[in-house]
Chain A
Amino acid sequence: MDLGHDERARPALHGRLNAAPLAALALPLLAAAVAGGLWRAGAAPPAWQSAGLAHGPLMLSAVFGSVIALERAVALKRWWGFAAPLASALGGAALLAGWPAAGAALGVLAAVVLLAVHAALWRQQPAAHTALLVVAGALGLAAQAVFAAGGDALKLWFLFPVLTVAAERLELTRLARRPRWAAPLLFALVGALVLGAVASTALYGLALMALAAWLLVFDIARRTVRAPGLPRYIALGLLAGHAWLAVGGLAWLGIAVGCPGRDLALHAVGIGFLLGMVMAHVPVILPALTGLRLGFTGWWYGPPLLLHASLLWRFSGALHDAALGHAAALLAFVFVVATHRRRR
C-alpha cells in the first residue's frame, strides 16, 4: 500500500498548533462588543461610550473576524495564517482605544491575510465550498476597505461571516443527496446578495431570505437533528439560525419599502444567525482550537434558549431588557463552557 503518492499530503500534527492564546483574545473583545451593545440599548453607563460607538465593527471584524480567521489558520497550519486573527484582534483593541484609523488599517491587513488563507485552502482542495470561502474573504476585504475609507460597509460586511457559514454548510451538504442545481443556485444567490449589497436593499433582503430557504432545505442539520446528544444540539442551533436569517432578510426588505426595522435587520442576522451559530459550534470548535475537551449535557441548551428568547423580546420593543438578556445568555454560556471541561 502506497501511503505517500499525494504530493499535497502532509503528516497530521498530533498535538495541535496551540491557538488558545489567540482564542482567548476573542473573549475580552466579545465582552467589549457586548458592553457596547448594552450602551447603545441604554443599559450601560456613559463611560462605555467608546465600546458603543465601535459596537458593529467590534462584532463583525474583531469578534467574528478573528474567530473565523483563527479557524482557518488552524486548518491551514501555516504560521503566517495566524497574522489574520492577530490583526483582527489588535484592530478591535485599537478601535476601543479610540484609534479608528489604526483599527481600520489592521482590519484591512487581517482581511488580506484571510483572503490569502482561503486561496491557499482552495488550492489545497479545489471545490465549490472552498471557492465560496474565497468569495467570502474577498467581500470581507472589500467591506474593510469601504469602512477604512469612511463609507457604510454594513451590508457588505455581513456577507463575510454569512457566506463563510454558507460555505461550511455547502461542504457538508455533499454528505446528503442534493440535486445538481443546488450548488449553482447557491452561487446565483451569492451574486444577488453582492448586487443587493451595493445597489438594492430590496434585492439584498430577498436574497438573504432565499439563502435562508436554501439552508433550511439542504442543510444536513435536518438529518443530524435525529441523532441524540451533541449532534442534535448543533443541528437545532443551525436550524434556528437559518430561521433568523430569513427574518433578517424580511427586515431588510421591509427597510427597502420604508418600514422601520434596521435594528431587527442587523440583530436577527448578527445575534440570531451568527451568534447562535457560534453557540451551536463551540462544543466542537473550542476543543479543535485549544485542545480543551468539553463534555455535553442538557445544560448546553440553556444559554442559546435565553439568547433566542431575548431576541424575540427585543423585537417586541423591549430593547433595554432584551439587551440585558443577550448579555446574560453569553455569561451563562461562558459558565456552561467552564463547567463542562473534561479530560477526554
Chain B
Amino acid sequence: MSFDYEGPDELRAPVTAALNRVVDPELAMSITDIGLVYGVKVRDQGAAVRMTMTSAACPVADLIVDDLHHELGRVFGGGAPIDVQLCWEPPWTSDMMSERARRFMGG
C-alpha cells in the first residue's frame, strides 16, 4: 500500500490516514490496501491525487471519489482545492495490493 507522496512531511500521516478511511463498499478494503492510489501531491493548501480503479466499467468510482474529497477535506479544510485524476496507466494489477489485502483475498 505505497504511493508517491510529494509535500510537507507533517501532512504525510494525516493524508495517508484520510486515504485509508476511503473504503470500497463491496470489498471491505481501503483504496490504499487495494493499491488504487498512485500518487498524492500537496499544493496550494490542497491536494492533487492520481489514482485508478480496478474497472473502467464500474459506476462506484464516483462514490469512492466523493468519499476521497470528503476525507481530504477534513485534512485541508472544506473549501480546499482537491483535484482527483483517474488514470489507466499503469494498469492496476493485484501486485499493487497490500500484504493485508492479499491475505484477506487468500493470496
| B48 in contact (CB, < 8 A) | yes
Assess A12 versus B105: contact at CB under 8 Å? Given A129-B57, A175-B94, A231-B26.
Answer: no
Q: How large is the interface on B (under 10, 10 to 19, 20 to 34, 35 or more residues)?
A: 35 or more
Assess A231 versus B85: contact at CB under 8 Å? Given A12-B65, A125-B91, A175-B34.
Answer: no
Query: In the complex, which of the residues B66, B85, B91, B105 contacts A220, with contact meaning CB atoms closer than 8 Å?
Result: B105
CA distance A167 to B56 in the complex (A): 12
B85 & A168 in contact (Cβ 8 Å cutoff): no
CA distance A13 to B48 in the complex (A): 13
Q: How large is the interface on A (under 10, 10 to 19, 20 to 34, 35 or more residues)?
A: 35 or more
Query: In the complex, which of the residues B41, B55, B62, B93 contacts A3, with contact meaning CB atoms closer than 8 Å?
Result: B41
Query: In the complex, which of the residues A121, A230, A283 contacts B57, with contact meaning CB atoms closer than 8 Å?
Result: A121
List chain B residues, Cβ under 8 A from A174: 54, 93-94
Chain A nearest Cβ from B52, distance in angstroms: 9
List chain B residues, Cβ under 8 A from A227: 28, 104
List chain B residues, Cβ under 8 A from A14: 65-66, 69, 82, 84
CA distance A45 to B19 in the complex (A): 55
A223 & B106 in contact (Cβ 8 Å cutoff): yes
Closest partner residue, chain B, to A283 (CB atom): B25
List chain B residues, Cβ under 8 A from A72: 57, 59
CA distance A172 to B53 in the complex (A): 11
B88 & A75 in contact (Cβ 8 Å cutoff): no
List chain B residues, Cβ under 8 A from A230: 25-26, 28
Closest partner residue, chain B, to A222 (CB atom): B106
Beta-carbon contacts of B67-107 to A below 8 Å, as 1s and 0s? 00110000000000011111111010110010001001111
Can you list 18 residue pairs at the A/B interface with Cβ under 8 Å? Answer: A3-B41, A12-B62, A14-B84, A16-B62, A71-B57, A75-B59, A124-B88, A171-B58, A172-B54, A175-B101, A176-B105, A224-B26, A224-B27, A229-B28, A230-B26, A231-B28, A281-B26, A288-B63
